[in-house]
Structure formats: structure tokens, C-alpha cells
Amino acid sequence: MTANEFVEIVREGSDKLRVDDIVLSAWGQNVHGKGMLRISKERILIDLTINDGEEFPNVPDGIYTKKDHWKLKGMIEDALEFRCDCIKPSGNPWYKKVTFELHPMNLVPSEFEAMSVKDLEIEHLKRQNASTASEKSNQAEAEEIPEDNSVHFKAVLLEYPFFERTHADGIKGEIDGYDWTLKKDTKKDLHVALISKKEYCSSGEQEDWRKFYALMNALAFVHGTNAWPYRIEYWRAGRKINDQVTAASRLAKTFHTPWPIEEVGKVQWSYTDTIKKVAAFFGTSSNLSKEISNILFLFREADNGVHSEITTTALCVLFENLVRRLFDELKLREKALSESTSLKLFAEAIEEVSNYIQPQIDKKGDGYKRLYGVVSKTQLFDMQERFHAVTNHYHLQWEDDMKIIFNIWSTARNSLVHDRTRADREDEEWKKLITDESQIAGAINILLLKLFGYSGQMRCSAIEEKYRQI
């Protein structure tokens, strides 16, 4: 069985394969056995049977984190070696059988795949000149072979929502130092290729993965669908470093995308330029980019194609989270304080009154302690002031525009969290809930597009099919 044949089985999502020569490494102990690989659309599981005479590691109660993960390796059908470095501790020392989820699996490259292009050429020279040239001559020829600094990723995403009508060679674009190609196959899977430019020299594997996941984050934002490939192949200097496989499961998605992806000509915008801008932001790997990645992941998971009160509540929370993060990261607090005498005086008043109350706590008890807590924690900016500041920073109109969005969010959020009556709801209330959700989602997309440096047309309410210029 080859790696490609195994991936085809994973893509189909229903099979069982024999696994031998299993080694489970857990907390300094190695356990050996054999087992069965069970492949489904949602998970890849391995049923492990421990060899006679060996004992399973004792698993104490408690919470386990990444540093506690076990490692497992084995041979599929006597042909394909694999490993998994993130096995969650599980099982019982009294049982000889245990089941683990493999997520992800790493297929071990063959001997030739694991060799760099230069290594292969040197090996070829040795064989070619074995009888006619000296070892010194071979070495001289080998030194003339240029170093290969290339980086190459190939990934496949299950039935990804992508343009149905594209050029036979797919869609091409670039991000910093790399060219990418997107192409659909007959099964509607999306094939992604990311290849470093000839003149580009990567600093190392960490940078390579950062660029790859920046592209994945950009695809996920633009398409509104988690960009989680079920296979990722990674080459560096011509050597295959990684062949990662996960279950080919359905990917969570949101209807609230900034553009109708499957209707290319409906809105005037540049697909490749937008991917480049979004990938550049995520490629910084800053704290803000990581926060935004998490917010967008929750955005897609909360919606996943279903309009509900749960979705609207989640989007209200994510909108507030986003505004607060932008307000802090853009240092708008400092800017507002430097520009507003009123805010400066308010900040001074909070400090002055807090300092007056604090010494009274020991004399006058819990009443003053509670009052001190209220006064000292008074926020200079409420949510409206934060959103207004972010709006001004991005040169968006407040009156008759973003202020309307704020009021929609505020009404929907307070009603859902505090005083919503849920029995015998009228049809008009349901309709308003859905349009509120769509406009709040649109506001999230507006702020993110401005953060990414985009300007142009976008869809500000997917449900209502409303568009605007930003």
C-alpha cells in the first residue's frame, strides 16, 4: 500500500486496515502490540491490543495537556509506516485493549522521498562513476551541485466551496515569497499548491508552516469555511519532511461571507489581491492575528450554515470581543486620552476618589470595600465609545451608518442575554432575529476587512443581499 492509496481510503471514509509493529511511547515506557485501524468520515481510530507479558501505562485521574501527550507508531498492512505524536492519555492498566484517535497521522516518507535533490544527485553520481572516477572526482562534482532552498506544500481540502468555473490550470496568485495555485478535481476537492519563489530563501521550517497556515487562514476567511486539509505534504530542499493525514470530515462554514464566492461576477473585487492581503496579516503571527484566527474559527463554528438564536448570541459576543481587541491593539485608549480633556479629568477623578475610599476600608468595613471595587474598576470607555473610536480610526462613517449597526447589536445582545421571552414568538420576531444576525456578522466582516487593508465592495448583510463600499 502506498501513501496515495491510503489517502484514497481516508477520502472514502469507511474501511478497516491491519496495523502491526505498534510501539506506544508513554511517560518513558514503551508498549508493543498490534491492532486495527478504523477509518470513518469523522475520525481515524486505532484499536490497540498489547503484547502478552507487557503492561499498559497506569493513567491517573486528572487533566492532561499537550506536554502529556503520548506517541505511537506502526506499520499499516506491512507496507506503510506511520506515527502520531499527539495521543491523548487514555485507557486502563487492567485491560489489554484500548482505542486511540489518531489526529493527525504522519505517514513516514520512503527512503528516496526523505533524500534531498542534492543527495539524490550525489547518489546518482556515485553509481554512474563507480568504475571510472575516483572518490575525489566524485566529491568535486558533488560540490558543484547547487543547494536547493525550495519549499513546497501540497494540500487537499474536502469538497471546498470554490469557483465551479475556473481555468484548467486553476487560479494562481502570490503571497510574500511564494506562489500558490488552487484547483478543483472531479470530486470537488480543492487542491492547494504553495511553492517558494526561486529567489526566496526561507529561514526554516517554522517560517514555512507559518506561511502555509497564513494562506489557509486567508482561504477560510474569504470562503467562510474552515480550511483544514485532510492531507498536507511538505517538502523542503527537495526532501519530503511531512505527509500529514486526518479524517476527511465535513468542514464547518458560515453563510455570512463578505462576498458570494460561487457567484464570481456579482461583486467587483479581486480574489487574488484579497487573499494576498489577508495572508499577509496572518503571516505576521502576532498576538492579534492569533486572536483574530480564533474569533473567525468560532464565527464559522457558531453559524455552520444554521441560523439560530445560538448563532446570533455567539456573534454578539464575538463582535464585542473583536471591538475590544481592536481598541486595545490599535492603542485607541491612549489616543483618546491625549485628545480629550474630559476623558483626562474623568480618569483623574476615578483615581482621586479611589484613593480617598481605600483608607476607609479598615475603619468602616465591607461597605467601603465594595464601593472601592466599583469605583476603582470604573471603565473610561463603554462599548459604544470603543466602537466609535475603532470606526473613526478606519475612517468609517458613524452617524447614519456604523451607529445604526451598534444599536442593532446592542438591542439584540441585551435582549438575548437579559430579557428575551422565548415562548410563543411571532414570525416577525424570528425574521428580525435573523436579519440582526446577518447585519452583526456584516459588521464583523467590515472591521476585519479594514484591518486587513481591504477597500472596495463587500456584502454587509448576506441574508438581505446588501452590499456596500468600504
List pLDDT tens digits, range 146-155.
Answer: 667 899 999 9
Distance CA 202, CA 199 (A): 10
Region 89-98 average pLDDT: 73
* Residue 283 in grid coordinates: 503571516
Q: Which residues contact 211 (CB under 8 A, 6 or more apart)?
A: 151, 175, 176, 177, 178, 194, 202, 279, 283
- The pLDDT, as a whole number, for residue 93 is 54
Distance CA 51, CA 53 (A): 6
Q: Which of 123-127, 339-343, 437-441 has the lowest mean pLDDT?
A: 123-127
List pLDDT tens digits, range 228-274.
Answer: 999 999 999 889 999 999 999 999 999 999 998 766 556 778 999 99
Region 98-102 average pLDDT: 93
- Does 132 have pLDDT greater than 60? no
Distance CA 430, CA 273 (A): 38
Please compute Rg for the chain using Cα positions: 28
- The pLDDT, as a whole number, for residue 365 is 85
- The pLDDT, as a whole number, for residue 338 is 84
403: confidence class by pLDDT, cuts 50, 70, 90: very high
Region 125-137 average pLDDT: 60
Mean pLDDT of the chain: 89
User: In terms of DSSP bridges, do strands 457-461 and 466-469 run parallel, antiparallel, or are they unpaired?
Assistant: antiparallel
- The pLDDT, as a whole number, for residue 133 is 56
List pLDDT tens digits, range 175-198.
Answer: 999 999 999 998 999 999 999 999
Region 11-22 average pLDDT: 96
- The pLDDT, as a whole number, for residue 330 is 93
* Residue 15 in grid coordinates: 474501511
Distance CA 34, CA 247 (A): 21
**AA letter at 104:** P
Q: Which of 141-150, 256-265, 274-283, 300-309 has the lowest mean pLDDT?
A: 141-150
Q: Which of 84-88, 257-261, 263-267, 428-432 has the lowest mean pLDDT?
A: 263-267
Q: Cell match 462613517: residue?
A: 397
- Does 157 have pLDDT greater than 80? yes
Contact 168, 150 (CB under 8 A): no
Element (DSSP H or E) covering residue 44: strand 44-50
* Residue 364 in grid coordinates: 468602616
Give the residue with greater pLDDT, 127 vs 431: 431
- The pLDDT, as a whole number, for residue 393 is 95
List pLDDT tens digits, range 308-346.
Answer: 788 999 999 999 999 999 999 999 988 888 878 888 898
Domain ranges within the chain, ordered by starting residue: 3-107, 151-298, 307-469
Region 3-32 average pLDDT: 95
Contact 222, 257 (CB under 8 A): yes
Distance CA 185, CA 191 (A): 7
